[in-house]
A and B are shown apart, each in its own frame.
Chain A
C-alpha cells in the first residue's frame, strides 16, 4: 500500500470523502483552513456539495439540513467557531441527527491566538451547548490516527444517530506525516429510516426537539441517557502497562506524544514510568485508567491547558492515587523536556493541588524558554510553595486570598 505524506487537516478531508461524506459546509478560521480549502477542491470531484457558509452558525445548520436529508455531512472549525456552533450541537443531539464535527483547537479564551491548544476539553466533553447531552469525542494524536478516527466518526455518528466530534489541535492540523489512505471497511450500520426525503408511500416523518406535552421531554431525556450509556463500549485508549511504576503519565492528542517522548527519556534515566493515552474523551476510558493507576504510585496528567481532563482523571481514580497536573495554556506547546521536569517534581514530592500548577513568575518566562530549562534538571525545580504561586497581588493582578494559603493544608474550600 502506498503511503502518502499529508497534512493533518487535509487527511481529515480525505477520510471524510472515503467515508462517503458528500456534504461539507465551513467558515474560514485558522488553524483548520486546509480542511475547508481541500474540501472546496475535492468535494466536487466526489460529486458532493461544498458550501462556504457565511458563519459557523450557518455551516453547522446547513449540515443539519443535509443530514436530515440523508447525507453524511461534516463541518470543521477551530475554537471560537466551535463556540458559535454550540446551539446547533445541542439540537443535533436532541433531534438525534448524525453529523461529524471537527474542532482543530487553538489558544483561548476569547479570540486567543492561532497556536495549538487543548483548552476546549470541557466544551467538548461536558456539553458546550444547553441541555443534557453528549457528543462522542475522538482525540487523534497522529495524522494517521486523524484519518482512522475521521472514518470512525462517520460510522459512530450513524450507529448512534448522534453528533461525533473529532477534537484535534493546530499542531496536528498542520503536521505532515506519512499515512496509508486505505479505504474503510464496509460496516453494517442501521438504515437511515429517520431521514426526511418526502413521505412517499409512508407516513410523514417529523424531526423535532420541542416536546411540550407533560412528561414527554423527561422521557426523551431518559431515552437519550440510555443511548449515552450504551456508548460506554466505544471507549478507546492506548497504554503500555508496567508493573510497579513510580508514575503514570496521562495525556491525549498531541500533548500525549510529547509526554511519550518524555517517558522514553525518563526510562533511560531509570525512572519506572507507565503511559496512558485516552483516544476517546467521551466516553472517557475511566475503568482502564483506574486499572492503570492502581499499578502506579502517582499519576501526572499533561495537557496544553490549565487542567481540564485532569478532573476526569481524578474522578476515574477516585482518590486511590495522588493525581498531579502539568500544563501550559494560551497556545503554548509542551516540550518533552518540560514534561520530564514535571515528572521529576512529581516523583518523591508531596501531593500538589491544582493551584500549584506552573504559573510563570515573570513575563520573560512566558513565550520564551523558561530559565529553568537551562538548569540541570536533575536538581529539579524549587518546590511549588517557593516558586509556583505568585507572592504578591502585583505579580499577576489580584490573586484570590485562598490561593495564598499554605497549600499543604489541602485544597481551599
Chain B
C-alpha cells in the first residue's frame, strides 16, 4: 500500500491561520504540489500580496517576499528579469490584483513578463472584514454594499477576459476550488501555467474562484455550493486564452 496525499515539501509544517472553509489553504497546497512535481522548490521565488494571503510566506517552504499592495506583479517581474531561470510567481487576491493593482497587472501582462500569476477571487476583501471587491457579483451583500452591490458601485470585473484584449499573455484561465473535481482541474491549470513559464513562453494567469464563508455569512458547505451554483454565473469557468 502507498501513502497518498503526503504534505508537499514546498509546504511548511505551520498550520494555516485561515478561517474554516477558506480556499487559500487549498490554493497554497496546489501551488506547492505543482512546484514539487516540477522539482523546482529550490529554484522558486514567490511574491505574496497584501490581504489574507500575505501570510502565505509562513506556509510555503521556498523563498518568498512580500510586496506593497497591488505592486505584486512588478516585484515578481523585477525578480524574474534579474533571475530568468528561476520560477517566479505572484499570488494575489481580488483587491490586490483587480483594484489597487489593476495598472500593474495590465502592464505586466502587456509586457509579457515571463511570470505566473495565481489570482484568488473570493468576491470580497477578506482581510479587512468583507468589503466589496472589484469581483463582487451584482446583488451580493458586503459590509460596504449592505443592500447588495448595484451597478453604480461598478460591475464585477472579469480579469482574464480583460487581459485577453492584450497581445502578450500566453495563457489565461479561470478555474474553481469548490469541489474535488474542480480542484483537480485547477491544479492542471496551475501546472500548465508554471510549465509555460519554465518553457519561457511568457505571461500566464490562472484565476481561482475561492470561498470566504466568514465574510459571506455562510457555512463552509453553503459557501462551496454558492461558488458552484451562483458565482460561476458571473465568472464562467474555462480557458480564456491559450497561445501555447
Using CB atoms and an 8 Å cutoff, list the residues of chain A in contact with chain B: 22-23, 25, 49, 51, 53-55, 57-58, 61-71, 73, 87-88, 91, 95, 196-201, 204-210
Enumerate chain A residues within 8 angstroms of B107, measured Cβ to Cβ. 53-54, 58
**Which segment of B80-88, B130-138, B215-223 sits at the interface?**
B80-88
Asked whether any CB of chain A lies closer than 8 Å to the CB of B66, the reply is yes
**Known interface pairs A25-B78, A55-B103, A207-B65; A197-B83 also in contact (CB < 8 Å):** yes
A262 to B77, CA, bound (A): 50
Q: Residue B68 contacts which of A61, A205, A207 (CB distance < 8 angstroms)? A: A61
Set A61, A198, A206: member contacting B78, Cβ < 8 A:
A61
- Answer yes or no: B42 CB below 8 A from chain A CBs: yes
- Chain B residue with minimal CB distance to A50? B81
Q: A61-B74, A62-B77, A64-B74 are in contact. Are A199 and B62 (CB under 8 A)?
A: yes
B43 near A68 with CB under 8 A, answer: no
User: Using Cβ atoms and an 8 Å threshold, which residues of chain B touch A53?
Assistant: 74, 107
CA distance A25 to B71 in the complex (A): 14
CA A205 to CA B86, docked complex, whole Å: 15
Name the A residues within 8 Å of B41 (CB-CB).
Answer: 199
29 contacts between A and B (CB under 8 A): A54-B104, A57-B104, A58-B104, A61-B68, A61-B71, A61-B74, A61-B75, A61-B78, A62-B74, A62-B77, A63-B78, A64-B71, A64-B74, A64-B78, A67-B78, A68-B65, A69-B83, A70-B82, A73-B78, A88-B71, A91-B68, A196-B64, A196-B65, A197-B83, A198-B62, A199-B61, A200-B42, A206-B57, A206-B65
Complex: how many Å from CA A336 to CA B27?
65
Q: Is the CB–CB distance between B63 and A66 below 8 Å?
A: no
From the candidates B54, B61, B75, B111, name the one contacting A210 in the complex (CB within 8 A).
B54
Contact with A along B115-143 (1 / 0, CB 8 A): 00000000000000000000000000000
**Is the Cβ of A66 less than 8 Å from the Cβ of B43?**
no
Q: With the chains together, A274 CA to B74 CA distance in Å?
A: 49
Complex-state Cα separation, A388 to B82, whole angstroms? 55
Instruction: Identify the closest chain A residue to B63 (Cβ).
Output: A196
Of B80, B83, B103, B106, the most chain A CB neighbours within 10 A belong to B83
Task: Let me know if A66 and B78 touch, CB within 8 A.
Answer: yes
Tell me whether B44 is interfacial, beta carbon within 8 Å. Answer: yes
- Name the residue on A nearest B48 (C-beta): A208
CA–CA, A335 and B97, complex, Å: 50
Query: Are A204 and B62 within 8 A (Cβ)?
Result: yes
Interface range, B side: 35 or more
Interface of chain A: mostly helix, strand, loop or mixed: mixed
Do B60 and A204 touch (CB < 8 A)?
yes
Given the known inter-chain contacts A204-B61, A205-B63, please indicate yes or no for A57 contacting B71, CB distance below 8 A.
yes
A54 and B103: CB pair below 8 A? Answer: yes
User: Bound state CA distance, A196 and B57, in angstroms?
Assistant: 13
Chain B residues contacting A51 (CB-CB under 8 Å) are 77, 81, 111
- Closest residue on chain B to residue A197 by CB atoms: B83
Residues of B near A200 (CB, < 8 A) are: 42-43
Ranked nearest first, the 3 interchain pairs of A and B with the lowest CB-CB distance are: A65-B78, A61-B74, A69-B82
**A64 in contact with B61 given A69-B79, A69-B83, A201-B42 (CB within 8 Å):** no
Q: Which A residues touch B83, using CB under 8 A?
A: 69-70, 197-198
Nearest chain A CB to B200 CB, angstrom units? 16
In the bound complex, how far is the Cα of B62 from the Cα of A318, in angstroms? Answer: 52
B206 at the interface (CB under 8 A from A): no
What are the residues of chain A within 8 A of B82 when measuring CB–CB?
22-23, 49, 65-66, 69-71
A197 engages B63 (CB within 8 Å): yes
- B212 within 8 Å of A by Cβ? no
B:23-79 near A, CB below 8 Å: 41-45, 47-48, 54, 57, 60-68, 71, 74-79
Supply 8 further A-B pairs (C-beta < 8 A) apart from A57-B74, A196-B79, A208-B65.
A55-B103, A58-B74, A58-B107, A62-B75, A66-B81, A196-B65, A198-B62, A204-B60
* A388 CA / B205 CA spacing, docked (Å): 62
Chain B min CB distance to A259 (Å): 39
Residues of B with C-beta under 8 A to A55: 103
- Tell me, in angstroms, the Cα distance from A58 to B67 when the chains sit together: 11
- The answer to whether B103 touches A58 (Cβ under 8 A) is yes
Please indicate the chain B residues that have their CB under 8 angstroms from the CB of A206 in the complex. Answer: 57, 63-65
A-side contacts of B81, CB under 8 Å: 23, 49, 51, 62, 65-66
A160 to B221: give the CA distance in the assembly, Å.
51
Shortest C-beta distance, A58 to chain B (Å), equals: 5
**Minimum CB distance partner of B69 in chain A:** A87
Closest to A209 in B: B66
Q: How far is the CB of A3 from chain B (nearest CB, A)?
A: 34
State the Cβ distance, B141 to closest chain A Cβ, in Å: 29
Partner of B45, one of A57, A63, A69: A69
Contact A199–B77 (Cβ < 8 Å): no
Cα distance, A54 to B109, chains bound together (Å): 12
A208/B79 in contact, CB under 8 A:
no
Query: In the docked arrangement, what's the CA distance between A201 and B62, Å?
Result: 11
In the complex the two chains form, is B63's CB within 8 Å of A198's CB?
A: yes
Write out the residue numbers on chain B whose beta carbons fall within 8 Å of the beta carbon of A73: 78
Q: What chain A residues lie within 8 Å of B66 (beta carbons)? A: 91, 95, 207-210
Write out the residue numbers on chain B whose beta carbons fall within 8 Å of the beta carbon of A70. 82-83
Asked if B79 and A68 make an inter-chain contact with CB atoms under 8 angstroms apart, the answer reads: yes
Say whether A196 contacts B74, CB under 8 Å. no
Question: In whole angstroms, how far apart are the Cα atoms of A201 and B41 in the complex?
Answer: 11
**How near does chain A come to B171, taking the closest CB pair, in angstroms?**
22
| Chain B, Cβ-Cβ closest to A90 | B68
C-alpha spacing A204/B65, complex, angstroms: 11
> If A54-B107, A68-B65 touch, does A198 touch B86 (CB 8 Å cutoff)?
yes
